[in-house]
């Protein structure tokens, strides 16, 4: 059996742990740049604030209803997440950390356990030790555990936050209840197509023919169908495979038309990717650069483009990755466009101790020592103390984070005070 543990309104719950006066009030956490709502308390959901609501459009609703609004504080959420995961791992040896607020547990050899009450125990323990409320769905496959979790969350008074699908009747009823757009693995596009052919629930979906699903939704769709039918095909992925790409992308505060300004941003993104590479001891052998205009400004010329630049050797040097990124930018930059977003993605990752050497062209060995020194100084003196000459040396563009809460658990100077 699989259990899916999901933290309720996770980011909001993290804020509430350290600020109990937020309980019972509408609370919203915004994305980077204070752009849109990415976590909402139940009270905020009840006000009709949808997921991804642009903050500027909902400003009035926030004000009129006394909504408590926060900028996202990822160091805090990451730390709270690892505390929760830590507790979960005490209840079964088989755990897959699926995302910052979700984990799959597998119960093998638990035949004599009453899983429902066992999971109630998990729930109480997590709440007691971290202050984070969770919901638990239990079923024979991962996709069905997701369905069960949704029921647990939707009907807290009946389920007490834990729901178990352990009979055909329960499975069928659950699938008949679940709207097609709410099925795990069915996104906006597929949901629209399916609704067009009168497939409105998960139950309608499993009534389709395998061949149709395979043809129109690829093996991914077919796997999902099997899972919902109760045949387990998705296994627990306990050991996360190493990352295949690392990205640094940002939307700008306004729009940028000037090449030099975009170049400076791209260079900074590239350096940021290089730092992330070094932090996890890997190299890359290519860098993808992309730029795009504001997709919401329909009256302006729309343009989006990206290019993959291959680096002839494996590297994690600021200068090398930066140089290749700029080469790519030169090829895709178009004059007269109001750019809104850009980014770099490093790809072709391998361990920096064990990388392929190139017969003709290799990295200047001095870079390795230089990068080590830079990282050392950054760590000691703080980020952004050392920059490449072509990065903007005076001004520092910064993310908009006007409503940031303290890093209660991960910065000593911001630790919570008890009076």
Partner DNA sequence: TCTGGGGTCCTATGCCTT
Partner DNA sequence: TCTGAAGGCATAGGACCC
- Among 254, 336, 365, 382, which residue sits at the site for DNA (rule: CB under 7 A)? 254
Instruction: Report the C-alpha gap between 361 and 358 in whole angstroms.
Output: 6
Contact characters 51-90, DNA, x per CB under 7 A:
-x-x-xx---------------------------------
Does the footprint of DNA cover residue 230 (CB under 7 A)? no
- Among 131, 156, 230, 306, which residue sits at the site for DNA (rule: CB under 7 A)? 306
- Among 226, 250, 368, 387, which residue sits at the site for DNA (rule: CB under 7 A)? 250
Does the footprint of DNA cover residue 102 (CB under 7 A)? yes
Instruction: Report the C-alpha gap between 103 and 138 in whole angstroms.
Output: 12
Site for DNA in 271-290 (CB under 7 A): 276, 286
Closer by beta carbon to DNA, 24 or else 400: 400
Shortest distance (Å) from residue 193 CB to DNA = 8
Does the footprint of DNA cover residue 188 (CB under 7 A)? yes
Distance of CA 221 to the CA centre of its chain: 22
- Among 25, 47, 98, 230, which residue sits at the site for DNA (rule: CB under 7 A)? 98
Does the footprint of DNA cover residue 360 (CB under 7 A)? no
Closer by beta carbon to DNA, 99 or else 207: 99
In the chain, how long is the greatest CA-to-CA distance?
69
Does the footprint of DNA cover residue 219 (CB under 7 A)? yes
Does the footprint of DNA cover residue 21 (CB under 7 A)? no
Choose the binding region for DNA from 62-70, 152-160, 177-185, 200-208 (rule: CB under 7 A). 177-185
Closer by beta carbon to DNA, 30 or else 115: 30
| Contact (CB, 8 A) for 237 and 96 | yes
Does the footprint of DNA cover residue 197 (CB under 7 A)? no
Find the radius of gyration of the CA atoms of the chain.
24
Site for DNA in 333-352 (CB under 7 A): 340-341, 343, 345
Contact characters 128-157, DNA, x per CB under 7 A:
------------------x-----------
- Among 82, 117, 207, 218, which residue sits at the site for DNA (rule: CB under 7 A)? 218
Instruction: Report the C-alpha gap between 283 and 320 in whole angstroms.
Output: 11
Does the footprint of DNA cover residue 211 (CB under 7 A)? no
Does the footprint of DNA cover residue 234 (CB under 7 A)? no
Closer by beta carbon to DNA, 332 or else 370: 332
Does the footprint of DNA cover residue 185 (CB under 7 A)? yes
Shortest distance (Å) from residue 90 CB to DNA = 22
Instruction: Report the C-alpha gap between 395 and 384 in whole angstroms.
Output: 11
Does the footprint of DNA cover residue 383 (CB under 7 A)? no
Shortest distance (Å) from residue 188 CB to DNA = 5
Which residues of this protein are in contact with DNA, per CB under 7 A?
A: 31-33, 35-36, 38, 52, 54, 56-57, 98-102, 146, 183-191, 218-220, 241, 243-251, 253-255, 276, 286, 294, 296-297, 306-308, 310, 340-341, 343, 345
């Amino acid at each position: 059996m699989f259990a899916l543990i999901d933290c309720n309104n996770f980011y909001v719950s993290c804020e509430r742990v350290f600020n109990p006066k937020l309980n019972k009030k509408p609370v919203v956490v915004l994305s980077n740049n204070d752009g849109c709502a990415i976590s909402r308390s139940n009270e905020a959901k009840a006000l009709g604030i949808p997921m991804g609501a642009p903050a500027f459009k909902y400003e009035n609703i926030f004000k009129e209803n006394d909504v408590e609004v926060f900028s996202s504080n990822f160091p805090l959420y990451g730390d709270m997440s690892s505390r929760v995961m830590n507790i979960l791992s005490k209840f079964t040896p088989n755990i897959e950390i699926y995302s910052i607020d979700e984990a799959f547990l597998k119960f093998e050899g638990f035949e004599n356990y009453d899983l429902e009450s066992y999971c109630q125990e998990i729930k109480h323990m997590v709440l007691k030790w971290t202050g984070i409320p969770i919901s638990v769905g239990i079923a024979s496959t991962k996709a069905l555990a997701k369905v069960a979790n949704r029921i647990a969350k939707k009907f807290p008074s009946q389920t007490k936050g834990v729901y178990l699908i352990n009979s055909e009747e329960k499975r069928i009823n659950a699938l008949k209840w679940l709207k097609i757009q709410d099925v795990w693995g069915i996104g906006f596009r597929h949901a629209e197509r399916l609704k067009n052919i009168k497939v409105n629930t998960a139950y309608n979906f499993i009534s389709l023919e395998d061949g149709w699903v395979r043809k129109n939704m690829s093996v991914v769709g077919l796997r999902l169908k099997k899972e919902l039918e109760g045949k387990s095909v998705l296994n627990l992925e306990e050991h996360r495979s190493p990352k295949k790409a690392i990205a640094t992308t940002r939307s700008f505060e306004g729009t940028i038309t000037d090449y030099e300004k975009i170049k400076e941003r791209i260079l900074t993104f590239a350096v940021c990717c290089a730092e992330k590479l070094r932090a996890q001891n890997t190299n890359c052998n290519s860098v993808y650069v992309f730029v795009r205009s504001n997709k919401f400004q329909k009256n302006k010329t729309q343009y989006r483009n990206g290019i993959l630049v291959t680096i002839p050797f494996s590297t994690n040097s600021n200068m090398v990755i930066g140089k290749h990124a700029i080469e790519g930018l030169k090829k895709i930059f178009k004059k007269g466009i109001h750019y809104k977003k850009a980014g770099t993605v490093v790809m072709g990752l391998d361990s920096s101790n064990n990388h392929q050497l190139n017969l003709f062209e290799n990295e200047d060995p001095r870079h390795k020592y230089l990068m080590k020194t830079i990282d050392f100084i950054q760590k000691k003196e703080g980020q952004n103390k050392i920059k490449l000459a072509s990065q903007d040396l005076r001004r520092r563009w910064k993310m908009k984070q006007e409503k940031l809460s303290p890093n209660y658990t991960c910065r000593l100077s911001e630790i919570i005070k008890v009076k």
